[in-house]
A = this chain, B = another copy of it.
Amino acid sequence: MSVKFGLLAILSEGDCYGYQLRGEFDRRTGARSSLNVGQTYTTLDRLERDGLVERGDVNSEGHVFYRITQAGRLAVTDWLDAAEASARASRDDLVTKIAIAVTLPGIDAAAVIATERLALLDRLAALTPVPSDDQIAAGIVDSAARFKAEGELAWLDHVERTILTGPVRADFPLAQDIPRRGRPSAQQAATV
């Protein structure tokens, strides 16, 4: 929801046309990755569909301006007032991958962890091109990427220390003999 609400929040500051809005989003979000312009228009269409913005004037230069609605303003304040909590509790690709890898018999989980660690170190290195004491250089998004990478590295170390080297490397065969219960029937299957 970050693109959707991000664009909407910017519109709460004043009307924008699509391309301009994309620029504002990028500017506030750090230029390291740019929002695809197309996504701006797609998102505006959906915001309009949901009644959060309206198509406003076309100005003297032909720019199509969008205007936030009352419902839109409400959505922005709700977004800012409520914590991002629930969405953040959701599935994490890296975590799921490691969790699954650990349970796979033929797989060297330590090697998978090593690969991820190397990639994270690379990412960290790319994030610190000038390690000067310039505080402004470390913007919000950059620092977030740094903290995230460092956190994931620490977690990978933790997994290696506690789970992989622990006494129980876990017991995860496919449970083949499931006690039958529910639905399947049709004379308990014709096939096989």
Contact = CB atoms under 8 A, between A and B. Distances in A.
A66 to B, nearest CB: 12
Contact of A99 (B30, B148, B182): B30
Protomer copies: 2
A12 B103 CA distance: 12
Interface in A32-91: 33, 57-63, 79-85, 87-89, 91
Given A14-B176, A29-B100, A61-B189, 7 more contacts: A5-B97, A33-B89, A80-B107, A88-B152, A92-B148, A95-B140, A147-B154
A61 B188 contact: yes
A16 B84 contact: no
Contacts of A2: 91-93, 95-97
Contact of A20 (B144, B159, B178, B185): B178
A6 B96 contact: yes
Contact of A148 (B91, B151, B188): B151
